[in-house]
Amino acid sequence: LGIEIDACCLNIMIKGLYKKGELEGAFKVFDEFPKMDLKRNERTFATLMHGLCDKGMVDDGFGLLERMKEEGIVVDVVVYNVLIHGLVKNERVDEGIRVLEDVGVILMSSYQHV
């Protein structure tokens, strides 16, 4: 049909799969990016983190954060928001506050370098 699959399409598939409760399928799509010569981006990671956090798998979400950093993808505010929300939703409020404080330090440090 002349339709080319791109990262946006795969991100939508990931979201649809985790919303159906199919995290395994979402991870399979996540793993397809390099096979299709596509780059995962901050939305890809945030979408999958959201699915993990919704299932109470916040520590796995933080594992994806580390993987994201290893792949050299810039971590944005949305990613931290997803993780903080996941912590709070799973009654880990103190940890959420610590992450929020860490993000504040990171943001302040980046403004000082400008």
Residue 36 included in any domain:
yes
Q: What is the pLDDT of residue 112?
A: 59
CATH number at residue 87: 1.25.40.10
Per-residue HEC secondary structure of the chain comes to: CCCCCCHHHHHHHHHHHHHCCCHHHHHHHHHHHHHCCCCCCHHHHHHHHHHHHHCCCHHHHHHHHHHHHHCCCCCCHHHHHHHHHHHHHCCCHHHHHHHHHHHHHHHHHHHHCC
Tens of pLDDT, residue by residue over 55-112, are 999 999 999 999 999 999 988 889 999 999 999 998 898 888 888 887 766 555 655 5
**In the predicted model, what is the mean pLDDT of residues 19-30?**
94
**In the predicted model, what is the mean pLDDT of residues 17-23?**
92
Residue 3 included in any domain:
no
Q: What is the pLDDT of residue 27?
A: 95
**In the predicted model, what is the mean pLDDT of residues 19-31?**
94
Residue 60 lies in domain = 8-112
Q: How many domains does one find in the chain?
A: 1
Torsion sign across C-alpha atoms 38, 76, 61, 102:
positive
Residue 66 included in any domain:
yes
Gap between the Cα atoms of 4 and 106, Å rounded: 38
**In the predicted model, what is the mean pLDDT of residues 31-57?**
93
pTM for the structure as a whole = 0.82
Q: What is the pLDDT of residue 93?
A: 87
